[in-house]
């Protein structure tokens, strides 16, 4: 069983996390897979109002979350507040110590940056805030769909998170699994 935890918060961009959520969840339809447990996490187990007014009840609070193999942090305007949230930062740092992969989509990169997890690494984000990322002296900003730096992966905006999720499916389960998922969702990868 692989646990994939997706952090959500008020103002999170929906497709940043719903696209990868769908991609990872489809893996459970393959007969030969032992399963992926995909779940959402928030600071508190309270209704989260996302960027475009989608309301989501997280599966777990930070305190209740099981061990996480892949951590995904979405972006959205809510990241402006959350990137300075010490409780969130502590959860991300604690989880990153044992996770196989720590990832961000779009402006979720700033939560990783503020936690110091990108120091000395290349990273990317949504094209509209690349200059903001370039202000972090310890991070080398690059303009790519997604960037793999060891076990930390950052992706550009919105649909780039789906590319990153498909990449992780391939890393974790092989190229046939990635092809299967891409075909299932009719996604050109």
Of these residues, 6, 106, 109, 148, which one is catalytic? 106
To the query of whether residue 50 is one of the catalytic residues in this protein, the response is no
Helical segments of 74-149, H only:
79-82, 86-98, 109-114, 130-134
Is 104 strand, coil or helix?
A: strand
How far is residue 162's CA from residue 26's CA, in Å, rounded to a whole number?
A: 13
How far is residue 147's CA from residue 26's CA, in Å, rounded to a whole number?
A: 23
How far is residue 60's CA from residue 138's CA, in Å, rounded to a whole number?
A: 33
Which residues have a catalytic role annotated? 106
């Amino acid at each position: 069983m692989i646990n994939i935890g997706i952090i959500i918060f008020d103002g999170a961009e929906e497709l940043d996390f719903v696209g990868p959520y769908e991609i990872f969840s489809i893996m459970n339809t393959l007969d030969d897979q032992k399963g992926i447990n995909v779940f959402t996490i928030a600071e508190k187990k309270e209704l989260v109002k996302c960027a475009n007014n989608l309301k989501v009840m997280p599966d777990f609070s930070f305190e209740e979350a099981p061990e996480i193999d892949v951590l995904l942090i979405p972006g959205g305007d809510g990241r402006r507040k959350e990137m300075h949230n010490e409780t969130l930062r502590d959860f991300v740092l604690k989880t990153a110590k044992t996770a196989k992969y720590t990832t961000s989509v779009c402006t979720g990169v700033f939560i990783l940056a503020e936690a110091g997890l990108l120091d000395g690494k290349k990273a990317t984000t949504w094209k509209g805030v690349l200059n903001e990322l370039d202000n972090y002296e310890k991070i080398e900003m690059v303009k790519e769909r997604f960037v793999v730096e060891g076990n930390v992966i950052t992706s550009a905006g919105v649909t780039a998170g789906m590319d990153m999720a498909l990449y992780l499916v391939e890393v974790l389960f092989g190229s046939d699994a990635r092809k299967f998922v891409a075909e299932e969702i009719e996604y050109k990868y």
